[in-house]
Each structure stands twice: as C-alpha cells, then as structure tokens.
Structure 1
Amino acid sequence: MFNLISVKYQDIINDKLDELYLLRKKTFKDRLDWQVTCVGDREFDSYDNEHTHYLLGCYDGYIVSSVRFIGMDQPNMITGPFKDFFNYQAPEDGMLLESSRFFVDKTRVQGLAETKLPFCHLLFLGMVNYARTLGKEAIMTVCSKSMYTILKRSGWNIAVESMGLSEKKEPVYLLRLGIGDDSQDALIKYIRRHYYCEGSYLKKWPIYL
C-alpha cells in the first residue's frame, strides 16, 4: 500500500526522521554529489526546523519519496543559500511555499516489481493537492536542468522566474509551480496512464493507493 502524507518537523517520529535523513544523504550527497551538510551517513541542515513540513511517500511503511516545504515568509533555501544564484528578488509571501530536497529513492522503487505506480508524479500531485488544501497560491522551487525537463514533460503548469548558475557552474532554474485545476488535471491524467484510479480519488488529500 502507498500513502502520501504531510507531517510537521516536530511531529515526525524519530525513526522516520532518521530514515529520511539517511535517504537524503544517499540521494543528494552519494548520487548527485551536491554540496550538502552531512553528519555521518545522514543529511540535514538548519532548514529542517519547526517551520518545516515534509511530504512523505511511503510504500508498505518504508519511505520511497519526500519533499520539504517551508513558507516563503520564513527563512528558506531560495532567500538563503540560493539567493546569489539568481538576479531575482524572491517574494517573502505567506501565500507561497518553498519546496526543496525533493527525491524518489531509485533503489527502493526499482525493487518494487509488483507495482507500476508512477512515484515521481504522485509526489508532484501530492505537492499540488497539499498546497491547495492550505489555500496557497503557488510553490516556488530551485531545480537542475534535468529536473526542469521532467517537470515540463509532466504537464505541470510551471513558470521560469529566473535562470542562474550553481556553485558548479551548472544551469539552475527558479520556478513557480502552479497549483490550479490545469496542473492538477494534467498530473492526474499522466498518473492514470500508468495506474488506474478514479480521477476524483486522486484529487483528495492525503493520497492513499
């Protein structure tokens, strides 16, 4: 069984937080070689705090995907370490969410031969559904060129606010991710091509399949 839920930093149980940090280290340090803060075999930073919400995608109780949300009116990655990447003044707006540390664990997903769930796009849809539930206007995020391509192909309504270069001199994109009906419907259409489920059911939050 797959479920996608939101949990506050202060409410996540210790073993799940530990599992999340382990998976983030494997993704962002070991696989992508990003300049992230690691302590031993765990990755976390000062933005993992009481202002943070996580979306956790779990299959049979194990985390397979996650994203971190922080309100744009709180200290976040876009107005912090990513600020110098762009010639852009990011809005400190309580109606916007900043997303970061997005991942789908490839090793765990590849081991799930019995399911054809499109885990990446379920996480995209969960981001939209969650933000809509909170009454937000949009989601802001910074991504690489490869992730930008994936987002465009998903049908998600996205706008490039600015382009810049990372510390590795690689292109990065500051995006505004729409959460309107068009984005929700496009992601549901993509998911239903790979996994049959009533569209009305996929519009609900949390997501249980």
Structure 2
Amino acid sequence: MSSAVDFFLRDYDQLSVEQANELYRLRRKTFRDRLDWEVECIDGMEKDLFDNKNTTYLLGMHNGQLLCGARFIDSTQPTMMSEIFHKYFSGVCRLPTDIPSCEITRLFLDKERRDAAKLEGLPASKALFLAMIMFCMKKKYSGMYAVVSRGMYAIFRHANWKTEVIQKGLSEKGEVIYYIFMPANSSVIEDIIIKDKHSDWLREKLQHLRHL
C-alpha cells in the first residue's frame, strides 16, 4: 500500500508564508472553532508567543495539503508549562531539564480534510504519533511532555501508547486535564503498531519516517 500521508519537519524560520498561514488557520479551526479553547486568534489564524525561533513543527501532508501537525519546544526553552500551564498543577513550575526532552503542543488532525482525502479508513492519527516519536528519537529525547484533555489522553491510551500521568489538574473551565510524559523509543513504536489492523500500512509509513 502506498504512503498516503507524508511528514515533514520545519523550524519556525523555515516555514514559508503559505505554510505558516495554512498551519495557523487549521489550528484556529481546531482549537478555537471546534474545541472552543481560549487561544489567540488574529485574521482567522491561531498563533501565540511560542511560535518563535525555538519551535520545530511537524507537518503531515496529503497531495500537498496540510492534514495534521504538532509543535515541539525543547524543555530548556520557555514552554507553555513554564509560562501558562503550571498554574493548573501543584508544585509544577517548568518541565524537567535533567533528561533530554521536549514539550509538545498544538497537536491536531483535521478530520474534514482527512475524510475528503478518503483516508478515514487509515490510522492517520497513529502515523502522526509515530512521526512524533521518530522526531524525539532523532533528537535523542527520552520523550515529550504535554498537557492534554481527558479526550486526548483517551486517544493516546487507545493507541496503546503507555504514557505516564504525572499529575491531574483542572483547566480554566473546570475540566480535568493531565500533565503527562510520553516516552519515545522503539518499544513504544511497536506497541502502537502491533495491535492495529493496518499494521502493514503503519510499518510502511515507519520506513518513510526514518528519513525525517
């Protein structure tokens, strides 16, 4: 089966104007329009102070069209945890810096574009997870930290990604959120792939991801 989603890494300064605009518009569609998060939006785009020179983006494309993405920031840099999320958790002020790791935020998959591309039968979200893990392995990170909703945490668990819940908190809306660590290694990759009925497609995708 041929690869249906291709992944690319782009540092902030490497994004073209067109790529940046499309990314920030899809993020607004996901985080403001669909999830109703309190995010900064200007001219129909969601962008904040963490979109800067310290940021690396993971972009998932199908036939030149952006489908999904994520944002990485090294744990030694200012992150959403150190600047924003810490207030929702007890005794947390920043990410640990004693091991190589990163923060991942703004993780999304546009389901309308996925379905329009006739990819609804393929595990595109798991391909995105594999790409996230491969990025961390390439950077020699032990994994990534994130603050996620109950729904997102359930998606990771359903994907057989054995994440560690460091602490539970409450968002500004009073909803349960999780501060988690997501390990990134070959065992995690195998756990995600082995139980999926499209494991052959995921293994093919993994071969492409080794060149990220």
Compute the TM-score of the two structures, normalised by the length of structure 1: 0.92
| Residues 1:3 and 2:19 aligned together | no
Q: Does the residue aligned with 1:46 lie in a helix, a strand or coil?
A: coil
**Cα distance in 2 for residues equivalent to 1:55 and 1:134:** 13
Q: Indicate the residue corresponding to 2:72 in structure 1.
A: 69
Give per-residue Cα distances to partners, 1:114-166, cap 9 Å, x unaligned: 67331111111110111001111110001000111111111112100111000
Q: Is the 8 A contact 2:144 2:184 kept in 1?
A: yes
The structure-2 alpha-carbon separation of the partners of 1:112 and 1:86, relative to structure 1 and needing over 3 Å to count, comes to: same
Compute the TM-score of the two structures, normalised by the length of structure 2: 0.91
Q: Is the 8 A contact 2:55 2:72 kept in 1?
A: yes
Count residues with an aligned counterpart: 207
Residue number among 48, 53, 58 corresponding to 1:55 in the alignment: 58
Q: How do 1:81-96 and structure 2 match up within 5 A?
A: 81-89=84-92, 90-93=95-98, 95-96=100-101
| Residues 1:113 and 2:118 aligned together | yes
Q: How do 1:11-26 and structure 2 match up within 5 A?
A: 11-26=14-29
Q: What displacement does 1:188 show? A: 2.3
Residue number among 40, 45, 49 corresponding to 2:48 in the alignment: 45
In the alignment, structure 2 segments of 5+ residues that lack a partner are: none
Give per-residue Cα distances to partners, 1:83-122, cap 9 Å, x unaligned: 1011143313561110000000011011122673311111
Identity of aligned residues (%): 31
**Cα distance in 2 for residues equivalent to 1:76 and 1:108:** 29
Q: Indicate the residue corresponding to 2:206 in structure 1.
A: 202
**Cα distance in 2 for residues equivalent to 1:198 and 1:155:** 14
The structure-2 alpha-carbon separation of the partners of 1:131 and 1:168, relative to structure 1 and needing over 3 Å to count, comes to: same
Q: Indicate the residue corresponding to 2:174 in structure 1.
A: 169
| Residues 1:157 and 2:162 aligned together | yes
- Amino acid corresponding to residue 64 of structure 2 in structure 1: G
In the alignment, structure 1 segments of 5+ residues that lack a partner are: none
Aligned alpha-carbon RMSD (Å) = 1.9
Q: Indicate the residue corresponding to 2:188 in structure 1.
A: 183
